[in-house]
Amino acid sequence: MTVRNVTPAARSSEPRQTLLKQAALAEALMDGLDVGIMACDEHGRLSLVNRVGRDLHGFDVGDTIEPGAMADSFVVYRPGSRERVPADELPLLRALNGEVVDGQEVVLAPPGRPRRLVSCTGRRIQDEDGAVLGAVIGLRDVTSQRAIEAVLSARAEREAPAGLPNRVLLDRRTDLRLGEDAGGSRSVALLFVDLDGFTSVNDTHGHAVGNHVLRQAARRLDDVVRATDTSARLGGDSFAVMCPDMPAGDPTHAERLATRIAGELGRPFYITGAAVQLSASIGIAHSRDEDLDAEELVARAEAAMLTAKQTGAGQIATYSPTATALVRRPPAAARIERLLRTAIEDGSLDVHYQPVVNLSSGATVGVEALARLTDDEGTAVAPTTFVQVAEQCGLVGALGEQVLRRAAIQVAQWKRQLLREQEFGLGVNLSVHQLSDPGLFTSVERALDEAALDPEALVLELTESVFSDIEQHTDVLRELQRLGLKLGIDDFGSGYSSLSYLRRFDVDILKVDQTFVADLDDKRDRQVTGAIVRMAHGLGMPVIAEGIETPQQLAALRELGCQLGQGNLLAPAASAATIGDLIARRRLIVS
Ligand code: C2E
Ligand code: MG
Ligand code: MG
């Protein structure tokens, strides 16, 4: 940082009043910041400390930071340890020594004040000729951010999949049975079960959800098999089932079991409200009367599974040394793709709306648009399922565009007809895939124009995964924000446990994931939710709690200072007609 020399001549030509005013303004500005600022002259004497800096440290202008006396005057620890930071590593002195300080974290423990974990950024200040004038550092209090992050990753750990026996046990039991059955009328069947598309669950929803799905998959597998069978987790998203008591020479028993397993794992996995649709590829190998060991049997079943997978997701194949035979082909994804294409093409995709409610007044302050798709029998397909299929087959842009256009027109109409143009928000979900679509900006702009909807009413909801790779998406997100619309983080806290992006990118609204609301009974989870609400409010973001189902949850959220919410208790998602009625009625109650 370079500071121009202010010459006495220049100073005297400036009216004193103006200078004083400028100084007062600068001081007010500095004190208004939520970052601590400390600057020192070339001797280490503090020349500037703003309000937050004083609060953090207890130091003020004029105090001298002498490297020698440093260790005594500043009680500064390394994060997570009892070790003091030596004088030459203190951020301000490092900066004074010419180092660039960028995100150095230290624990400040001034006597009589609470300990704070701060992240420091600093530079040396020099004049035009290179003479050192001093140094300046910014201190950001990251205590609660780090505490929340620690709890988020602990939650992810706690959700780690468990329960089923592992490979070692499977092999031991299989070898035992193979030995007993050799040459008899019974044989061992081994089913190698591999989830299709599981990686995208982790990518889209985060590891906590991924682990949750794995645990549910393990439980379903265990429920389907008989007590005498052994189901095991082979690692990652692969499972095995060993059936020791199959009639030798009759493969249909194992095939029927595989079909049941495929059916079970093909049902949506519900992650508190959201549904994840997967399928399983299954390979079957029979021991027959050959001299096989467990390892070889598992390898054969795996080979059959790979053949099944190559043919497409959700297939079953039985191993044979000559030609591995496919058992069946349930074209779930293909069917959904067809439904989706038709619905998008003829404009019959349905959009439902869920009210966003002010938790203290009960007023409906906006809605979230949620896409709906029904199959030929009139059964609803879970949105997470068809959104995932849409992402995989390149239809998610068209899906999102249609939902946005329809919803914008609907909300603009409600505003005109029912709300006397009062402020009213519209949340529309945006898949991360849409961010790479070069036509996104134009289609959002067009939807707003077409509906004559004020851009400020629109909140595009993005999941945290967008922010784990924020650099890649910064330009498009900023461009969208320039339209005047808002960006919200959906399902906050469900996946990515780093919060630093919240400061690097201007997000307007935070939607706390349903799992936090569901866990509010737990004291610790309640504290985390409270900390998240405070942190968001500190950053100027309103918080919407999702999935409020019970009066207890509602009361707890109110107590934690959360102002907005969605959930079946308040109002479930429903058709435009139903929500229109509700808005009309609530307007009378509230105003
Ligand atoms: P989301 O954006 O987090 O939407 C909230 C989900 O929570 C909705 O599920 C809603 O119906 C459900 N929900 C609301 N209140 C409660 C409650 O009290 N309890 C429980 N258990 N659930 C509640 P839905 O409609 O099944 O949608 C699931 C997800 O599918 C959405 O999660 C969103 O990620 C995605 N989705 C839906 N529509 C669209 C869309 O048009 N575009 C994109 N890209 N994604 C969409
Ligand atoms: Mg949403
Ligand atoms: Mg959500």
Q: What is the CATH classification number for the domain harbouring 112?
A: 3.30.450.20
Report the chain's terminal Cα–Cα distance, integer Å. Answer: 55
| Boundary of a domain, candidates 84, 109, 141 | 141
CA gap 253, 250 in Å, rounded: 7
Evaluate whether residue 247 is within a structural domain.
Answer: yes
Same domain, 423 and 511: yes
From 69, 315, 328, 74, select the one nearest 196 (Cα to Cα).
315
Residue 330 — very low, low, confident or very high, per pLDDT cuts 50/70/90? very low
Evaluate whether residue 416 is within a structural domain.
Answer: yes
DSSP 424: -
Residue 158 — very low, low, confident or very high, per pLDDT cuts 50/70/90? low
Contact status, residue 128 vs residue 141, Cβ threshold 8 Å: no
Helices (H), 283-382: 294-311, 332-345
Same domain, 180 and 304: yes
Residue 543 — very low, low, confident or very high, per pLDDT cuts 50/70/90? very high
Residue 94 tokens, joined? 């490092």
Contact status, residue 378 vs residue 350, Cβ threshold 8 Å: no
Same domain, 200 and 221: yes
CA gap 306, 302 in Å, rounded: 6
Predicted pLDDT of residue 202: 82
489 C-alpha to center of ligand 2: Å?
Answer: 8
On the question of pLDDT at 482 being above 80, the answer is: yes
Same domain, 136 and 167: no
Q: In sequence order, what are the beta bridge partners of 155?
A: none
Query: Is the pTM higher than 0.85?
Result: no
Strands 279-286 and 316-318: parallel
In whole numbers, what is the pLDDT of the chain averaged over residues?
85
Cite the beta strand spans of 287-401 per DSSP E: 316-318, 325-328, 350-358, 364-374, 380-381
Across 157-184, average pLDDT: 70
Does 371 sit in the ligand 1 pocket, CB within 6 Å?
yes
CA gap 35, 129 in Å, rounded: 30
Which of 370, 435, 490, 549 to probe ligand 1 with, by most ligand atoms within 8 A of CB? Answer: 370
Same domain, 65 and 92: yes
Evaluate whether residue 37 is within a structural domain.
Answer: yes
Predicted pLDDT of residue 97: 94
Evaluate whether residue 12 is within a structural domain.
Answer: no
- Say which residue, 527 or 207, is predicted with more confidence: 527
From 220, 539, 558, 201, select the one nearest 385 (Cα to Cα).
201
Distances from the Cα of 276 to the Cα of 202, 279, 392, angstroms: 11, 10, 14
Q: How many residues does the chain have?
A: 591
Evaluate whether residue 93 is within a structural domain.
Answer: yes
- CATH code, domain carrying 562: 3.20.20.450
CA gap 109, 107 in Å, rounded: 6
Predicted pLDDT of residue 589: 40
Structural domain total, the chain: 3
Predicted pLDDT of residue 153: 72
Does 489 sit in the ligand 1 pocket, CB within 6 Å?
no
Does 547 sit in the ligand 1 pocket, CB within 6 Å?
yes
On the question of pLDDT at 571 being above 90, the answer is: yes
Predicted pLDDT of residue 73: 59
Does 402 sit in the ligand 1 pocket, CB within 6 Å?
no
- Domain enclosing residue 82, as ranges: 27-141
Across 493-516, average pLDDT: 81
Q: What is the dihedral of CA 558, 559, 560, 566, to 10 degrees?
A: -20
Evaluate whether residue 251 is within a structural domain.
Answer: yes
∠ CA 409-414-419, nearest 5°, is: 145
Does 349 sit in the ligand 1 pocket, CB within 6 Å?
no
Predicted pLDDT of residue 68: 53
Predicted pLDDT of residue 157: 55
CA gap 256, 516 in Å, rounded: 40
Burial of 316 (0-12, 13-18, 19+ CB in 10 A): buried
| Residue-wise pLDDT tens digits, 418-470 | 988 889 999 999 998 899 888 999 999 999 999 999 999 999 999 887 876 77
Evaluate whether residue 340 is within a structural domain.
Answer: no
Does 384 sit in the ligand 1 pocket, CB within 6 Å?
yes
Does 274 sit in the ligand 1 pocket, CB within 6 Å?
yes
Residue 204 tokens, joined? 């889209």
Ligand 3 (single-atom ion) residues, CB below 5 Å? 490-491, 546
Residue 156 — very low, low, confident or very high, per pLDDT cuts 50/70/90? low
Predicted pLDDT of residue 408: 98
Residue 164 — very low, low, confident or very high, per pLDDT cuts 50/70/90? low
Q: What residue type is assigned to position 243 of the chain? A: C
Which of 352, 372, 387 to probe ligand 1 with, by most ligand atoms within 8 A of CB? Answer: 387
Same domain, 500 and 384: yes
On the question of pLDDT at 162 being above 60, the answer is: no
Q: What residue type is assigned to position 50 of the chain? A: N
